[in-house]
Amino acid sequence: MSGRQKQFVGFSVLRLSALVVLLILVVILGDIVVKGAGVISWDFLTQAPTNGMTEGGIFPAVVGTFLVTLITAVIAVPLGIFAAIYLNEYAPKTKVTRLIRLSIRNLAGVPSVVFGLFGVALFVRLFGFGTSLIAAGATLGLLTLPVIITASEEALKTVPNSYREGALALGATKWQAIRTNVLPSALPGILTGVILGLARAAGETAPILFTGVAFYLPFLPDSIFSQFMALPYHLYILATQHHAIEQVRPLAYGTALVLITLVFSMNLFAIILRSYFRRKAVNSR
Amino acid sequence: MGRFKESVYKNFFFANALVVVVILAGIFLLLIRNSLPAFLEVNFLDFLTGKVWNPGGYSESSYGILSLLVSTLMVTAGAMLFAVPLGVLTAAYIAEVASPREREIIKPVIEILAGIPSVVVGFFGIVVLGPWIARIFNLSNGLNAVNGSILLGIMALPTIISLAEDAITAVPDDYRQASLALGANRWETLVKVVLPAALSGIIAAVMLGMGRAIGETMTVLMATGNAPAMPGSFLDSVRTMTATIAIELGEVPFNSTHFYILFAVGLVLFIMTFLVNLASDLILERYQEVE
């Protein structure tokens, strides 16, 4: 085989690999979209499950996922952004800074079920929150923290140094320079990272399994100390734990479709936001 | 006054950054603290080397983690077997061959793949992959180690692809130019120059993907059948450490030996993923220094 033929074969193998990855995505999404689409209706989205969860909708799970993600955001977003500000704007090159960075990367690698264990030990028991929205939200918040820090730091890094120096030269203090010049231009990037992190949290199951999510609740949570239903857990129940699994399969497909639609709309929004501001940044330079 | 305010801001942000260290240390310490009571009743060596996991035993409970550990390693190895070649080749395609237009299609595809919640991947394993496997291997059901391996591979793919692509892109262009100038074609340049130069980064990418696979819970919980026995082959139903915690923690009474032993399983998982991530970190750090 000549060098040229080898190159053709080699590149074809590479292209084939990329196609396989594409195919995997198409098969997974295709199956869920095709079989789930027929189940989606206004009633499915706005009604509670009825008749032992064999009929009705997923409204409480949608609300629960929304609420727990909101709590996740309240806990992880400020903490994550502040930590990123420290790392990018203040942190000296010391051992402590290295330790912080090492911790962020390792925290990102901690298995989600271990976060669940930690949530039980700390929030449910030690803090006495019980199995509740706040315990689950806090657990998800910790899990999301590394994503938000990393993305926010990336966003801060893209702000040119001249922005900081310009403000400093005009007599601004460091914090004033950050607040008036750095943060506003990093904000879209930070927002993108926040949304991506929260989308991941909304789809997580293992961390909320023992910290607050419920199999079935006849009413919506009325405080942060209530248990709640959530879309990912509802899908898990319908797919594996229900007494009539075959009968509720369409409901499981519908739940899966709603869940991925929710997560992907968040992702898509973040991606559009990012490319919009990237283009804007390029144009203004 | 201004100076005082500035130092308040700085310390405030520092405190926020330090929270991450506290959390990581807190996870480690709470896992240890909640594991220790278990070893008042269970011999530590029996825990690590025992093959029988039967915590609710009628006459006598046994807490041997070995079959769970082997199951975890087995599905992880199976996942890597297909995710590493597929991931690295795809990364090479994106970095070296794809046109900008193709790149704009495949990169979002990988981001979307990374965004699929694990419970949805597990559901796919039950409703699509399981029946396929059952038909191909002529089994009564397809919930086994192969199913879990394929799903975990799919979940590890985005990590491997995007980090391996970074590693390949980071190879200085001089290397390529020099190789092409010596008469090598683009394929030879890729295989003999670029990939070897990116090797440490690719290894780091694979290890991070592996860390994800070891710790993945919902997919294996849903797709591997969860038989708590020593697996004999990839067509056996297996139960990983993560799945064991997920199945049993909700059912055990607080403060029982069974409750504490699940934290010990979590501790083993934590240490395993910590070591894998640390190794990947060290490799990356070294390779960034070389640059």
- Which residue ranges make up each domain of chain A? 58-230
Residue B266 forms contact with A (CB below 8 Å): yes
| A to B CB pairs, distance under 8 Å | 269
CA-derived radius of gyration, chain A = 23
Q: Which residues of chain A register pLDDT less than 70?
A: 281-285
B246 in Cβ contact with A113 (< 8 Å) = yes
Dump pLDDT digits (tens) for B183-234: 999 999 999 999 999 999 999 999 999 999 999 999 999 999 888 888 888 8
Contact partners, residue B114, CB within 8 Å, separation at least 6 = B158, B159, B162
- A31–B218: do the CB atoms touch at under 8 Å? no
Rounded to 5°, angle at Cα A141 from A139 and A143: 75
* Cα–Cα nearest to B122, from B159, B93, B87, B147: B147
Distance to chain A for B192, nearest Cα, Å: 13
DSSP letter string over A112-170? Answer: HHHHHHHHIIIIIIIS---SSHHHHHHHHHHHHHHHHHHHHHHHHHTS-HHHHHHHHHT
Dump pLDDT digits (tens) for A132-172: 999 999 999 999 999 999 999 999 998 999 999 999 999 88
* Cα–Cα nearest to A236, from A206, A260, A262: A206
Angle between helices A3-37 and B100-115 (to 10 degrees): 40
Sign (positive/negative) of CA torsion A152, A155, A157, A163?
A: negative
Interface of B with A in 78-117 (CB under 8 A): 85-86, 89-90, 92-94, 96-98, 102, 105-106, 108-113, 115-117
What mean pLDDT do residues B231-253 have?
89
Residue B17 forms contact with A (CB below 8 Å): yes
Considering only CB atoms, A175 lies closest to which of B9, B113, B254, namely: B9
Predicted confidence at residue B50, as pLDDT, reads 84
- A86–B211: do the CB atoms touch at under 8 Å? no
Residue A109 forms contact with B (CB below 8 Å): yes
Chain B residue closest in CA terms to A118: B27
* Interface confidence: ipTM more than 0.95: no
Dump pLDDT digits (tens) for B130-187: 999 999 998 888 899 999 999 999 999 999 999 999 999 999 999 999 999 999 999 9
Domains and CATH numbers, chain B: 44-290 (1.10.3720.10)
- A100–B20: do the CB atoms touch at under 8 Å? yes
Considering only CB atoms, A209 lies closest to which of B24, B208, B250, namely: B250
Find the helix or strand (DSSP H, E) in which A49 lies.
strand A49-50
- Average per-residue pLDDT for chain B: 90
Give pTM, 2 decimals.
0.92
- A175–B12: do the CB atoms touch at under 8 Å? no
Residue A104 forms contact with B (CB below 8 Å): yes
Contact partners, residue B207, CB within 8 Å, separation at least 6 = B276, B277, B279, B280, B283
pLDDT higher than 90, residue B45 = no
DSSP letter string over B93-128? Answer: IIIII--HHHHHHHHHHHHHHHHS-HHHHHHHIIII
Predicted confidence at residue A284, as pLDDT, reads 59
Give CATH superfamily name and number for A58-230. Answer: MetI-like (1.10.3720.10)
What mean pLDDT do residues B76-88 have?
95
Residue A33 forms contact with B (CB below 8 Å): no
Q: Mutate which of A16, A21, A279 to disrupt the B interface (most B C-beta within 10 Å)?
A: A21
Long-range CB contact pairs, A260-263, < 8 A, 24+: A260/A29, A260/A32, A260/B116, A260/B117, A260/B120, A262/A65, A262/A202, A262/A231, A263/A199, A263/A200, A263/A202, A263/A203, A263/B115, A263/B116, A263/B117
Predicted confidence at residue A258, as pLDDT, reads 95
Residue A143 forms contact with B (CB below 8 Å): no
* Cα–Cα nearest to A64, from A259, A253, A257: A259
A142 in Cβ contact with A118 (< 8 Å) = yes
Name every chain B residue with its beta carbon within 8 A of the beta carbon of A105.
277, 281
